[in-house]
Amino acid sequence: MFFVYHFFQSLVGLFNEIKILLKSKKLTPNDIKVLNRFFPYYKNLQPKHQEEFKERLVRFISTKEFIPRGGLESITREMELLISATAIMVVFGFRNVELKHFSRILVYPDNYYSTINRTYHQGEVNPKLGIIVLSWKNFVEGFRDPKNGVNLGVHEMAHALKLENQIHYNEESNFFNKIAWQKFNDLAKDQIQQIKEDKDSFFRKSASNNPHEFFAVALEAFFERPEAFKSEHAALYKSLVFLLKQDPTVLKG
């Protein structure tokens, strides 16, 4: 029985892989142009890492369903590319992580009204529904200044990454190194306290709301202002390098 079950499971897995392969569209020269123009992280990767990035990007796009909402007419190729590239950047240190639990990405044109907590949102991640929600206007805003440490896309992907690590019913969980995660959380606790007391903190105020927010805001700074982050909070920065298995300061640009 056990054997039959496993045989069936691997058959399902094989069919899924074939489905993904058939759906995968190779990146066009124009796609690469978009990446080079708007996504400095990609541009600054070593050629062999660019290859890996592209491969994972294609797979990400073909495994997610992108859904326009709130009057947005359609999902453009640029939206697919830049949203997915942001996700791949955040998970790049984890070879096999593709945020499997989050199969749908909803895109609104602008801030949207959330009926759950009756406020306007720029984005959110809902683990129950397996969705990532972004407003395109704010997503683009995050790219306009790639060095100010504010990036909605990175913020929401960071929430998704942390949740994915905690989800125990798929094969993609518990990939955070326990020591690195502990180290980061110990340092984060002190930092949250400091932000509450200090008006001129390196991290913006909302980072002190709770540990989840701190993680998401810290990742925005990690990818957009790595040099400044490293010199202001060396130990915290180092703990993120250890945790995320990548170091944005080694990329030029």
CA atoms within 13 A on the CB side of 43: 11
Q: Which region among 77-85, 108-116, 179-187, 215-223 touches Zn ion (by CB under 5 A)? A: 215-223
Query: Is the CA virtual torsion 175, 234, 231, 221 positive or negative?
Result: positive
Identity of the residue, 106 or 216, whose beta carbon is nearer to Zn ion in the bound complex: 216
Which amino acid is residue 172, in one-letter code?
A: E
The answer to whether 154 contacts Zn ion (rule: CB under 5 A) is no
Helix (H) or strand (E) holding 89: helix 77-91
Q: Which region among 4-12, 63-71, 145-153, 214-222 touches Zn ion (by CB under 5 A)? A: 214-222
Phi and psi at 162, nearest 5°, equal -65, -40
The residues that bridge with 106 in the sheet, in sequence order, are 67, 133
Question: Which residue reads 């990007």 in tokens?
Answer: 57
- The site that binds Zn ion (CB under 5 A) totals a number of residues, namely 1
Minimum Å gap between C-beta 159 and Zn ion is: 6
Identity of the residue, 58 or 157, whose beta carbon is nearer to Zn ion in the bound complex: 157
Q: Which region among 59-67, 81-89, 127-135, 210-218 touches Zn ion (by CB under 5 A)? A: 210-218
Q: Which region among 105-113, 127-135, 138-146, 212-220 touches Zn ion (by CB under 5 A)? A: 212-220
Two structure tokens written together for 121: 């949102």
List the x/- string, 167-206, binding to Zn ion by CB under 5 A: ----------------------------------------
Two structure tokens written together for 79: 């939206």
Phi and psi at 4, nearest 5°, equal -60, -45
In this chain, which of 85, 150, 216, 236 binds Zn ion, going by CB under 5 A?
Answer: 216
Binding residues for Zn ion (CB under 5 A): 216
